[in-house]
Amino acid sequence: MSVAYGIHDLSVATGSRVLALDLLAEYSGIDPDKFRLGLGQERLSVLAPDEDIVTMAAAAALPIIERHGSDDIRAVLFATESGIDQSKSAAVFVHELLGLPRTCRVVEFKQACYGGTAALQAALGMVAREPGSRVLVIASDVARYALDSAAEATQGAAAVALLVSADPALVAVEPAAGVWTADIDDFWRPNDSDTALVDGRLSVDTYLAAVVGSWDDYRARGGVDVADIDLFCHHQPYTRMAHKALRALAAHTGTEIDEARVAPSTVYNRQIGNSYTASLFLSLAAVLDGDDDLTGRRVGLYSYGSGATGEFLAVSVQPGYRAHTRAAATLAALAARTPIDIATYRSLHAGATHRSAVDTEIAPASDGPFRFRGITGRARHYERV
């Protein structure tokens, strides 16, 4: 009997502040429908001064550790494009905050928004090689663009933690996967820049080229026909992009695909904004947390990372999955965010970067289980509250 491998548990965290895009539209003199309808976005999560990718990652992973323990976790794979150090993996900080076993690999993955999927694939291989082990995959990012830029409304912040194992309770990852890569400067962030650089039109075109390219490779490697996929989750720099991807796939395959097959995946992303590596898995969480019973259904996942890499794969929803979802906790976290005005948002944006050459003490500002304490001796320090 073959063994299934996949996602055994999934947990979400986000920033403690939230900005309504209607406020940003009013401030910028833009029709709010450009954000609500054109982008498909309503709010964006903002971090307090004592929050960053590490605190969000640890907060996302903590409920998984509390539910399952940590004795058999053999690796922490941390995907991000908001890295805090050029050498030390953000996973090391999370490993310490969670009190994970010393007998544990830790590493950071980077390829724009695609990194979380690369980490998931690596985790599946690790678990297959060492039966009985589990791997903690964390995707955590802050999407940050220049104030008053065209991309400002597509900012956001979130982390998603996945527990990868054999005989998973949530979804099994099917063997077939299709990939596509090309060297394209559609979006990047140089080492000396605090914000990303974006060629918006090129990024959309490349995203769609990667959809069809990875789909063709998926089919060539034994993936199922588009008619056999019940729901779709696509990477969402903004939620309307998921619909564009579905239409591109429909045109490419000559198949009519009802957009209701992608709509459930946008529920959380509309309220959080772009979260780079976490975005795809937020969409999967939204699908699993929905009202419909998806037992035995197949969900197609399209992951995209600018620069550019795309991957298409599929998962099958496991019997009894509903008992393991965390819809109530995710909705509670979204509701608990403190609404902020434009002045507060712009102040937080301006103060988000801390240079390591200056010792900095960060005062408590959020109510999460972990916080960033500051920098001393050019090293970052965190604590569990």
Amino acid symbol at 269: N
The catalytic position among 8, 42, 51, 81 is 81
Question: Is 31 marked as binding a ligand?
Answer: yes
Q: At what angle do helices 90-98 and 53-68 cross, to 10 degrees?
A: 40
The catalytic position among 42, 113, 233, 311 is 113
Q: Tell the burial category of 201 from Cβ atoms under 10 Å away from its Cβ (0-12, 13-18, 19+).
A: exposed
Question: Is 244 marked as binding a ligand?
Answer: yes
| Alpha-carbon gap, residue 316 to 300, rounded angstroms | 9
DSSP secondary structure of 326-343: -HHHHHHHHHTSEE--HH
Question: What is the sign, positive or negative, of the torsion defined by CA atoms of 160, 164, 168, 169?
Answer: negative
Neighbours of 63 (CB within 10 A): 18
Q: Nearest to residue 378, comparing CAs of 351, 353, 359, 354?
A: 359
Respond yes or no: is residue 235 known to be catalytic.
Answer: yes
Question: Is 27 marked as binding a ligand?
Answer: no
| Alpha-carbon gap, residue 182 to 198, rounded angstroms | 16
The catalytic position among 42, 235, 311, 349 is 235
DSSP secondary structure of 10-39: EEEEE-SEEEEHHHHHHHHT--HHIIIIII
Respond yes or no: is residue 152 known to be catalytic.
Answer: no
- The CA angle 308-225-300, to the nearest 5 degrees, is 50
Question: Is 218 marked as binding a ligand?
Answer: no
Known binding residues are 31, 145, 244, 274
Q: Catalytic residue numbers?
A: 81, 113, 235
Known binding residues for (3S)-3-hydroxy-3-methylglutaryl-CoA are 31, 145, 244, 274
